[in-house]
Structure 1
């Protein structure tokens, strides 16, 4: 097809050119560069906070001294509960004469009983084992007997019955403990193993009457066969 100069000119006038002339003296645009793709940096995970230690119950007393204090508190509460006439003895060593620091037993309470008078009591917080309760021979009984000779007061041991929350107590006199206890060797020296049948179970003030008939085996033997028969008087004619 032939194109004339007039037709070409007419076409240019009707359709403006899409091409634009470059601006004179303009610097060429620099080629657009793309930044290299970097590997994603892993976000460090935060370590979980340590769980707080679980709340634990108050630890049970471990030492013999701590157990003894618990026994004293329980017996003091029992005396108050039943409104008994008693006196608690201060356990501060500075408040006692040097006599109590090695020779004689230091009781925990003095209890007034109408039938027996004044008695000394030492609270114990031991657990029965195989139907027996123990008592140190050197640290307890020998010093307890020394206390009785010096002050003319009978000394009793009261063991807390833990299964009954301190409402029941097992009582035995120091003299009877010496009579019926079986001497054994332990890691802390000799001790007495006393069968539970030799104790008096005290649950209320009325049970304290049992202490009045709490007899010693030696006295039972004397009453059974140790009394001589009276002699026959000669008749005078």
Structure 2
């Protein structure tokens, strides 16, 4: 079994004692330092005390559920958040991502897969980044699309001069569109590039994320190309 060469502090927030203990032992075997909490409120308190490198939390938690906890954490930190749930419907996944989670896995999940997802999150960090560019090529300055302005360097988005609050997922999605305005991007490419690996669910996740982004930047700004995907209008 391959172990992590760098000890990572992981906070596991899970109300089921059997699952909680199983996750703790499994992650410790991979070389992680693991703290645990059994509910959302105690998990939030422990997060503030320990400032872990990553949060692994269940959605259905007592006192403060995973959605509410994720939103509270996002008010003060960009720590990577990996959300777990037995509910794998697209709407549930998007709700978790929109609450600030960086990834969402459906239980039960294989330990090796879980550790790989943790490594991916830690490798890229939870902050949005501009799409990859050739070596030596700098990110462009602010880009204008009608009344929408996107700054890939400052990671800022304005509409008619007013800042647009986007979640990390929404911002990564918009940066992907802005890197190639007028170019049609299919759903699987968006999911692969925005989340850095092949999404294991269906492509409705991309559709729902695009819908939420449209509400914030203007429905007319992202065009649906039926049967193919989406493109950002110049």
Q: TM-score, normalised by structure 2?
A: 0.32
Q: TM-score, normalised by structure 1?
A: 0.32
Give the structure with the larger helix fraction: 2
Structure number with larger C-alpha Rg: 1
